[in-house]
Amino acid sequence: MENILLQTKQLYNSIVQEMNRLINEEVIVTDQQGIIVASTDAKRIGNYHEGAYIAMNHKEKIIMTKELTERLQGVQEGVVFPIIINKNPLGVLGITGDPIMVEPYARLVQKVTELFIQDTMMRINQESKARDLEFFIFDWLNHTGSYASLVERSKFFHIEMETYKQIVVFKRKQLETGFSYHRFEKLKSAWDYSINALFVRWGQDRIVMLLEPVKQTILVNHLRRFIELVNCDLNIRLYAGVGNRMDYERLSESFAQAAKASEHADDNNPILFEADLRFEMLEYEISDKTKQKFILRTLKDLPKEQEMMRTLASWFSHDMQIQITADALHIHKNTLHYRLKRIQERTGLHLKQIDDLMLLYIGYRLYYC
């Protein structure tokens, strides 16, 4: 891990920037071979620093005197010292300047640098463990591999798979950058763990939660509270789709149901159970190509007329009540009758025949889905 960590250019530059905030001197970082990989003086990057290489091998600080600058390759006056993590030297940090002036900074800068790297290593480690868990849950919910191997892997994470019976999929209202480990941990802390739950990130805009069995009324209250806290504390608006209860070996079915429900959750229905889906079930199963064909056969060219589509939408949303629809559109009811007659003529569907009305409504719903 240490070697991989110190090969990262971003980390090198971060170290230099952090040290530059502490002291107003030129700072360099070399790798284990003494090559300068980051510096406040970009011209020095890629150069060999013989003094750093010696400090690395001896695991001790070296004052770069004027005499040494004349004898060693790539050296300027100052001080260099190895960065040691877990007793292993990972690289060398150097401060360029008058040795008498910069040497007192050396111990402080060395300590700060090592703490900075240790913190970075810890965060990378945490992120790596979170990724491993996400891969495990992904395999579980996508039927990847045998359940015997999944159960064996679950022991590594101390997860009792049979505990979890239901899936909730959260989607974000607006697509943002992915969740960092720390931001995701803060989000998880908003959950009331009186209900046992397991959270994992799922792509850029989804969160998957595995749940123990719980009554629906209790679950709704917990979900509502969680969504409110996340919105308040993190300014993230979540919508929840909830699958049905399944045994852990069929939890992939609950996941598919929750994912389907989350697609239809919105401001009006921020928590949506798959069991409550009706028309959405048809919409989900129909291919986009078939939807477009059906819309063309029912609405024909009506979508080109925005006024007619607004009229149709209002009429359906007001349960086809003439006066209420007319009032909502701020038109006379005779005008509404005229528009409905035009809709009938353009589509060839009779609004007083149940079969035609049903076809028109389905076409309208598919158009706006």
Q: Is 222 inside any structural domain? A: yes
Q: What CATH number is attached to the domain comprising 364? A: 1.10.10.2840
C-beta of residue 336 within 8 angstroms of C-beta of residue 323: no
Query: Using CA atoms, how far apart are residues 155 and 24, in angstroms rounded to an integer?
Result: 51
Q: Is 147 inside any structural domain? A: no
pLDDT computed for residue 175 by the predictor? 64
Q: What CATH number is attached to the domain comprising 180? A: 3.30.70.270
Residues 273 and 186 in one domain: yes
Residues 293 and 320 in one domain: yes
Residues 189 and 90 in one domain: no
* Closest to 29 (Cα-Cα) out of 83, 108, 70: 83
Longest Cα separation, the chain: 102
Q: Is 132 inside any structural domain? A: no
Structure tokens at 50: 């013989």
C-beta of residue 188 within 8 angstroms of C-beta of residue 199: yes
pLDDT computed for residue 241 by the predictor? 95
pLDDT in tens, 292-329: 999 999 999 999 999 999 999 999 999 999 999 999 99
Q: Is 130 inside any structural domain? A: no
Strand pairing class (271-273; 238-242): parallel
pTM exceeds 0.75, yes or no: no
Q: What CATH number is attached to the domain comprising 88? A: 3.30.450.40
Helix axes 106-141, 9-22, angle to 10 degrees: 140
Q: Is 348 inside any structural domain? A: yes
Query: Using CA atoms, how far apart are residues 337 and 85, in angstroms rounded to an integer?
Result: 81
Residues 92 and 182 in one domain: no
Residues 9 and 106 in one domain: yes
pLDDT computed for residue 120 by the predictor? 74
For 303, the domain range is 286-368
C-beta of residue 340 within 8 angstroms of C-beta of residue 351: yes
What does 67-88 look like in DSSP terms, one character per residue? HHHHHSTT--SEEEEEEEETTE
Residue at which a domain ends, from 283, 315, 348: 283
Indicate the residue type of 275: A
Q: Is 140 inside any structural domain? A: no
Where the chain has pLDDT below 50, the residues are 1-7
Phi, psi of 26 (to 5 degrees): -70, 135
Residues 260 and 324 in one domain: no
Q: Is 195 inside any structural domain? A: yes
Residues 116 and 185 in one domain: no
Residues 278 and 325 in one domain: no
pLDDT computed for residue 277 by the predictor? 81
Structure tokens at 120: 């970075």
Query: Total domain count for the chain?
Result: 3
Q: Is 137 inside any structural domain? A: no
Residues 168 and 263 in one domain: yes
Residue at which a domain ends, from 283, 301, 330: 283
Residues 165 and 276 in one domain: yes
- For 239-275, b/e burial (b = at least 16 CB within 10 A) is bbbbbbebebeebbbbbbbbbbbbbbbeeeebbbbbe
Residues 213 and 267 in one domain: yes
Q: How many residues does the chain have?
A: 369
Helical H segments across the chain, by residue range: 2-6, 9-22, 50-58, 66-71, 99-102, 106-141, 147-156, 181-188, 216-234, 251-264, 279-285, 288-298, 306-317, 322-329, 333-347, 354-368
Residue at which a domain ends, from 283, 311, 346: 283
Residues 292 and 277 in one domain: no
Query: Using CA atoms, how far apart are residues 190 and 208, in angstroms rounded to an integer?
Result: 15
pLDDT computed for residue 281 by the predictor? 63
Interacting residues of 23 by C-beta distance below 8 A, sequence separation 6+:
95, 102, 105, 109
3-state secondary structure at position 293: helix
Structure tokens at 314: 């209002």
- 205 by Cβ neighbours in 10 Å (0-12 / 13-18 / 19+) ranks as middle
